[in-house]
Amino acid sequence: MTSTDPVKPVATSAEALDPVALATALIRAPSVTPQAQAALDIVADLLADAGYRVERLTFDTGGVPVVNLYARIGTDGPNLCFAGHVDVVPVGDAARWSHGPFSGEIAGGRLFGRGAVDMKGAVAAFLAAALRHGQPRKGSLSFLITGDEEGPALDGTVKVVEWLKAKGETLDHCVLGEPTNPAVLGEVFKIGRRGSLSGVVRVQGVQGHVAYPHLADNPVPRLVRLLSGLIAAPLDAGSAFFPPSNLELVSVDVGNTAFNVIPAEATGRFNVRFNDHFSLASLKADIRRRLDAAGEPYDLTFPPGASESFITAPGPFVDLVAGAVEAVTGRRPEASTSGGTSDARFIKDLCPVVEFGLVGQTMHKVDEATSVRDLQDLSTIYGEIITRYFAHFS
């Protein structure tokens, strides 16, 4: 479902141009995934006031309506898109926060609140940067903001990407504002992500009394042999842009609390974070080969949600982003593909995407907070990216 907001005159309020004030307003609009409507309303109204064509996109394949936003100013290319999310993870025990999780309080030079780092801060930073820049003389600026990144990600960016493809809307390059820096702003930006594949191995047996094993069939030793085969040898040694792939066993379960019962079934679960040595198809084949080598019967399933690895190859766009970061912070950021997945895994189907955001030390934690100075500098970096981008690509 799509709704389009009318175009309004250019916004000039000082608050709209101030990333700290804007981040504070977003934090004070609670938006625990997927209930992000309040925060998206702030973004939509701001962009509509600035002359953007704003479209709210609601999808509901997961059983709960999720609202997303795509906004663009300009009609010709190139189209530089900033992407992010305004949904946040739950706050946990609010009593443990030294500042209210949705207070947006500033103390000791830090802005506190759920989403300050991940990633309302970055959303505020790139919105303020774009509004300061104004409409490009040639080309377009756009925003892709979802309310379903921290949730199952079924009705968020992946659906907006499908919608953009169906409309024939072109994104030429994208900057995603996920937190990328380990300790200091300017250390790291991400030019790709490893793929992710989860799997479940089940072994059937026959339940029985442990004192009479000949009357039962214990599946646990067979599952142990199967899982041992999975992790017996490294998957690979890494590649030019990626660390080695890793397969991690995350659960072994027999649903049995008794000491005198042989269980009827044993289940093992695993996740693989893999590099460009593999595609999903070749990785699945390698996993089956390893399991088959154990010589035990098994059932293998791969739950939905898998993603391929990808890389935005070094070149003019990657250099441009790195140069903008260095110009503001004095640090040349390291190009990385580490960490978990992000919505870049969907956006890469439309255009090259690079991720750069705040320092991620407090994301998802109690007392999530960002340095006010970092937030201001990040907005300056985004502004520098915009200026350099249209100077180079227009």
Q: Output Rg (C-alpha) for the chain, integer angstroms.
A: 24
- 135: exposed, middle or buried (Cβ count in 10 Å: 0-12, 13-18, 19+): middle
**Structure tokens given for 28:** 């004070």
List 297's β-bridge partners, or say none: none
**Structure tokens given for 220:** 């646990």
Residue type, 60: D
d(CA 106, CA 371): 9
d(CA 66, CA 212): 54
- Would you list which residues are annotated within the binding site? 85, 118, 150, 178, 364
List 192's β-bridge partners, or say none: 311
**217: three-class secondary structure by DSSP:** strand
Angle at 58 between CA 54 and CA 61, to 5 degrees: 155
Question: What are the backbone dihedrals phi and psi of residue 331, each rounded to the nearest 5 degrees, phi first?
Answer: -115, 135
Tell whether omega for the bond before 78 is within 30 degrees of 0, i.e. cis: yes
Active-site annotation, residues:
87, 149
Q: Measured between alpha carbons, how far apart are the two ends of the chain, in Å?
A: 33
Residue in the structure block whose two tokens are 């040595």: 277
Q: Which of 216, 87, 68 is nearest to 155 (CA)?
A: 68
- Would you list which residues are annotated within the binding site for Zn(2+)? 85, 118, 150, 178, 364
Beta strands per DSSP E along the chain: 2-5, 53-59, 66-73, 79-85, 106-107, 110-112, 140-146, 173-176, 188-190, 192-193, 195-204, 208-209, 246-253, 261-262, 265-274, 299-301, 310-311, 334-336, 353-355, 369-371
